[in-house]
Structure 1
């Protein structure tokens, strides 16, 4: 009986994927073109990204505390990076965001505009 339990439990434990919790928190962009603050959090069983603040000199957006703030709807961990399987910005299932943890307080965020990558650095906002 013990052997049966071991043969059943070990494969199940090895199949579980762990989430790197360093992704969670509030992040600021380091862009010379705009200022933005985002929050990555777990909502139910999904990892989502929310817009808290955005200002590009012509458009200013603030958090509305509604579903309108969610711009990343389902981050999934694949190949040492987080990817958004369903982006809130478009009605497509293609992956639009790739986020790599470079350091506890630094993310490398790649977005795709017309299939060309745009890479940004986000830093953790200290509370």
Structure 2
């Protein structure tokens, strides 16, 4: 199975959060991660990148969203600029307006749980 570089929007160093579990599980399954957030910290041995710096990232396969739709708009253009193959909207992050923008940009959008996708070999 090919590894899929995954940007985690809303990454966290808080162990009880799904974004934390996703970072661990993605690495466990052999996928390189790029954790990004407005909060500093480390997750699964990776420094969390300050989202507002909007760094260029090469070779992004997947962006997995863990932020509320209300906070997605300011990052939408940046996420599209990463040209991922797909964006996964985890439960609670679904955003029809952003999904439409992604579709118009030729980027697949998936409303699903990253953890479940990994466990069921649908990632």
TM-score over 0.5 for the pair? no
Q: Kindly indicate which of the two structures has a greater share of residues assigned to helix.
A: 2
Structure with the greater alpha carbon radius of gyration: 1
Q: Kindly indicate which of the two structures has a greater share of residues assigned to strand.
A: 1
**TM-score, normalized by length of structure 2?**
0.29
**TM-score, normalized by length of structure 1?**
0.29
Q: Which has the higher contact order (CA 8 A, sep 6+)?
A: 2
